[in-house]
Amino acid sequence: MKKMEGSAECSGSLSGRVALITGGAQGIGRAIAERFQQACAQVCILDRDVKTGEAAVRELTNRSPAMPVTFLRVDLEQPDEIRTVADSMQSSYGRLDILVNNAGVELDRAFPEMSVELWDRILAINLRAPFFLTQALLPLFTPDGGAVINVSSIHSTHAFPDSTAYACSKAGLVALTRNLALELAQRNIRVNAICPGYIDTRLWDEYLRTSSDGDELAQQVTDLHPMGRRGIPADVANAALFLATDCSSFVTGTQLVVDGGLTIRTHT
């Protein structure tokens, strides 16, 4: 394997790199797609939601016609569909430099109400898919290496009510990150996790909408943040850009917490 030398260079550019972002149709994934496109990467969005995915691709491509974004419809819950992704990327781009395992679901229930079927769905999308998608795409990374970024959560390290299966999936994703970082270091592939806190996306909107005291809850959550606000998708996208570029060339196996200080607080 080619050994990468340390370098003082850090342009923050992704020019010439190919990036695949799962769950890129909306929310955090879409913000990452937009940030990577701005950094001159060739971006492919993978999602199971065709309508939203194609709309995102249209908008991003119209904004920057010189850097067209493409869409791949895949349901990551289906191992057979995961196996098709490498062929699609090979024929469209011929290589892969950055994989962002971002797609995830928060379909949790209180512990006594969790079913085997729902546990399996949460774990299949949030943990099994990143494992087998990364495995399937490994041959597309060149000897120059690349970056895998797994979008985990502060649930991987902190307990929240009625979130046990989700937390297990996200803690598993951090374990996957560490172990793959070790396994893939010799191939110059850096593997890191991002642990977002409360980020205003559909996931969080839905949670508030279905809560009886949504507005009050939103304010309570905001007040828990030392930085005085909840996060926005661009906050996570900026962290992803750092982990994707040479600016993080000696960073692997880590968890980058993006939560406005929420989890460092010991007293309210």
Residues that bind ligand NAD (CB under 6 A): 23, 25-29, 47-49, 52, 74-77, 102-106, 125, 151, 153, 196, 198-199, 201-204
Q: Please, which residue, 183 or 206, has the CB nearer to ligand NAD?
A: 206
Q: What secondary structure, in 3-state letters, does the chain show?
A: CCCCCCCCCCCCCCCCCEEEEECCCCHHHHHHHHHHHHCCCEEEEEECCHHHHHHHHHHHHHHCCCCCCEEEECCCCCHHHHHHHHHHHHHHCCCCCEEEECCCCCCCCCHHHCCHHHHHHHHHHHHHHHHHHHHHHHHHCECCEEEEEEECCHHHCCCCCCCHHHHHHHHHHHHHHHHHHHHHHHHCEEEEEEEECCECCHHHHHHHHCCCCHHHHHHHHHHCCCCCCCECHHHHHHHHHHHHCHHHCCCCCCEEEECCCHHHCCCC
Active site residues: 166
Minimum CB–partner distance for residue 10 and ligand NAD (Å):
26
Q: Please, which residue, 125 or 145, has the CB nearer to ligand NAD?
A: 125
Q: Please, which residue, 119 or 204, has the CB nearer to ligand NAD?
A: 204
Q: Please, which residue, 52 or 248, has the CB nearer to ligand NAD?
A: 52
Minimum CB–partner distance for residue 77 and ligand NAD (Å):
4
Closest CA relative to residue 226, chosen from 259, 192, 188: 259
Q: Please, which residue, 145 or 174, has the CB nearer to ligand NAD?
A: 174
Minimum CB–partner distance for residue 257 and ligand NAD (Å):
10
Minimum CB–partner distance for residue 250 and ligand NAD (Å):
25
Minimum CB–partner distance for residue 76 and ligand NAD (Å):
4
